[in-house]
Amino acid sequence: MRNGRGGAAPKPIRKCFALTDEQCQRIQDILDPDERRPQRGWELKHQPELIRLYMTGMSFPQMESAMTPRLTWSYKTYSNRFRDWCFPINLAQRGVRIMQLYSSVSRSSPTTSTTTPVPSELGSVPSFEPLSLRLRLPLLPSSANFAQEVSQTYGRSTHPPGSKHNGADRNSISTIDTMSSNTTWLSSSATSIFSTAKALKLRRPLKPPIHDPKRGLWNDTLRVIPCGDNHQSTDWQGSFASCSICGFTPWHALMINSRSMSADEFVAAMSLLDRSSIKTNDYAGNSPIHFLMAAGVKIAYFSHLANRHDSTNQNVFGQNPLHVLNPQDLGDDLVFLLEWFKSRRTPPGILLIQRDIYGRTPLHTLLQHPFPRTHYSHILEVFPFFEYQLLCLNTTGQSVVQMMNVASLKLRLESESDYLKIQDGISDIKQLLAEFGVRESWFGLFNCRICNQTNKHSNSYLDQMKCACANGRDRNAPDETGLTPAHAIITKERLNQGQDETPAQTAELFRILIPPGDPTLREALHVLDPEGHTLVRNIAVRGLDEILQYVLELETPARGMAMVNACSIGVDGVERSVRAWVFQEIRELNERIRINPFSADKKLKEFLVNRGTRLTRCTEILEAAGAVTHPSVIQRWRINE
């Protein structure tokens, strides 16, 4: 028997298949000696077999399949019945309890060997250990030995590579909140992921890379500066140096066309370019590995890039290399590649949870590709807090299921089988989410839903913010309306002790949300709001000069210039730069003052004058950072020289 993670079940668990009906009854007596359990008579005839399946480590969805057609109950019903019968449902508790129960009934049975190990001799039960309780970090290869590790692990191995990283700590990011981890879904697949390896060897037909120069897209995933020149036919051996607008170089031409050459040819070409002075990054911040990810190549191509020090940073659009990963040729090696990237940056796993400007994580984009149904549990297991990522929305309010459905409909015209694969994935994701309860982070009037303390900070937004950050709430996840916490702080009006919140108080909240000493939170500065406006624009048009200065100081000057020159479209359909938006606010403010020159409301007049002063300061800050009224495409998106 194999558990849902691809590894063999411990021997004592395999022996549970041989438990007698009397031993199963003895297990019930141990758990409920007073016979007070609810639903004692439920499916009495089948109770011994159900207990045997439970003791073997079978998940509840597997149990549902095993008992059909004799029983027609859903896996949720089986889960509820075992909870009624006092059986642990939590994976960690279940694994330990199974060993204890098996030891008890085997020792009490004269037909069972006395050499059966007791729980203290068995140690931990990795097949039931919840990912959230693991303390050991994954033993991932360093850059220096990545190629060797690839050949050793995948070139000659006859055992599942997924078992190599079963000890990985998927909860290595401390800034994200967790939920209940008592799911059975990860172990619900009785078929190993590697049973489909033969099918994955069938390489997809070679298609040339597609560049949309007007939208600034490669292969419909990787975003670049829209330059107007189509580079998809550009030969890496050509005489060109780089595109003057987007920064496309022979490095990028080689990477995006790598699927059309052998690995040996690819290595030889890299050696030639290494001896040149050609820049590796384009002007939007994409490194060669961004382009290689979008090409959809095998693991061998990545191994030759591992010894290099290419940037895994986010580009100006918030995409790190994993956001644009095309897994079509990776097959079983996908999990290995994700594990390697997991340790590539500190803290481990940061690359797997970063969001682009639309609030999407690499998991959101990866799940929009077709996979065999048996792959999903293994892929999800690599991602930190995958349950939470699946529940998060993008800035348009779309869930991961909605994003997957849109992607499947796009593929349907090309491949009905790929469409069905994603639809199968949607069904499994829905099943997984149904097993998780959402622990909300609402701010209650009397009871804090985060720290569960009563009357602790019900009347203080500042204390609520401190509590949320101290307890690891995600600081960059869009809510159901598409607003991230940063945008909500800026755009939502609040009262402080019955008075309107002052700009200084708003700035204090913002500094707590995004402190200066944590560079992993800078991505929150670049995510858009639901209308497509940037955070800098929303700050500037409200005259929050203190926050504007603070935000620009957090980023590099090059990224700061792109931030202040970003453009967005208003409800009137006109695209404006940040500077133009502020000028429009000043004009509207001056018009209000002109219409009411002798207003008797001194408080209103003081408010308008102060707002005008702060808007003027914002204009000065923007101009100092390089803002112009009509920025070019280079000024809007260029962050590399």
* DSSP character at residue 338: H
Closest by CA to 161, choosing from 333, 306, 379, is: 333
- Looking at residues 485-507, what average pLDDT do you find? 88
Write down the pLDDT at residue 15.
66
* Least-confidence region, from 58-72, 222-236, 527-541, 571-585: 58-72
Strand order in the sheet with 222-223: 211-212, 217-218, 222-223
CB atoms within 10 A of CB 45: 8
Mind listing the pLDDT tens digit for each residue in 309-347? 677 889 999 999 999 999 999 998 999 999 988 888 888
* Least-confidence region, from 1-15, 193-207, 389-403, 590-604: 1-15
The crossing angle, in degrees rounded to 10, of helices 557-564 and 545-554 is 140
pLDDT band at 598 (very low <50, low <70, confident <90, very high): low
Closest by CA to 546, choosing from 490, 491, 497, is: 490
Rg (CA), the chain: 28
- Looking at residues 219-224, what average pLDDT do you find? 96
Write down the pLDDT at residue 348.
86
Write down the pLDDT at residue 352.
94
In angstroms, what CA-CA distances link 127 with 7, 157, 195, 284, 409? 8, 22, 19, 44, 36
pLDDT greater than 50 at residue 96: yes
For tokens 């990912």, the residue is 131
Contacts of 372 (CB under 8 A, 6+ apart): 193, 196, 199, 200, 421
Write down the pLDDT at residue 616.
96
Write down the pLDDT at residue 18.
77
Which run of H or E residues covers position 158?
none
pTM over 0.75: no
- Looking at residues 489-499, what average pLDDT do you find? 84
* DSSP character at residue 16: G
* SS3 state at 222: strand
Write down the pLDDT at residue 227.
95
Write down the pLDDT at residue 64.
84
Q: Which two tokens stand for residue 265?
A: 């040819």
User: How many percent of the chain have pLDDT more than 70?
Assistant: 77
Q: What is the DSSP string of 33-73?
A: TT---TTTTTTGGGHHHHHHHHHTT--HHHHHHHHTTT---
Write down the pLDDT at residue 318.
96
**Contact of 429 with 377, CB cutoff 8 Å:** no
pLDDT band at 493 (very low <50, low <70, confident <90, very high): confident
Distance CA 302, CA 295 (A): 11
Q: Which two tokens stand for residue 300?
A: 């061998």
Cα 254 to chain centroid distance, Å, stands at 29
For tokens 């210039």, the residue is 561
Mind listing the pLDDT tens digit for each residue in 282-294? 999 999 999 999 9
Mind listing the pLDDT tens digit for each residue in 1-31? 334 333 334 444 556 777 888 888 889 888 8
Distance CA 26, CA 366 (A): 47
Write down the pLDDT at residue 441.
39
Q: Which residues of 3-19 are buried (b: 16+ CB within 10 A; e: fewer)?
A: bbbbbebbebbebbeeb
Mind listing the pLDDT tens digit for each residue in 259-303? 999 999 999 999 899 888 888 999 999 999 999 999 999 998 987
Write down the pLDDT at residue 370.
96
Write down the pLDDT at residue 436.
64
* Least-confidence region, from 70-74, 119-123, 153-157, 178-182: 119-123
Distance CA 113, CA 18 (A): 12
Write down the pLDDT at residue 182.
38
pLDDT band at 156 (very low <50, low <70, confident <90, very high): very low
pLDDT greater than 80 at residue 371: yes
Write down the pLDDT at residue 83.
86
pLDDT band at 183 (very low <50, low <70, confident <90, very high): very low
Write down the pLDDT at residue 72.
81
pLDDT band at 116 (very low <50, low <70, confident <90, very high): very low
- Looking at residues 346-363, what average pLDDT do you find? 93
Write down the pLDDT at residue 431.
86
CB atoms within 10 A of CB 632: 11
Cis peptide before 372 (omega within 30 of 0): no
The crossing angle, in degrees rounded to 10, of helices 602-624 and 545-554 is 20
* SS3 state at 576: strand
Backbone phi, then psi, for 218, in 5-degree steps?
-110, 130
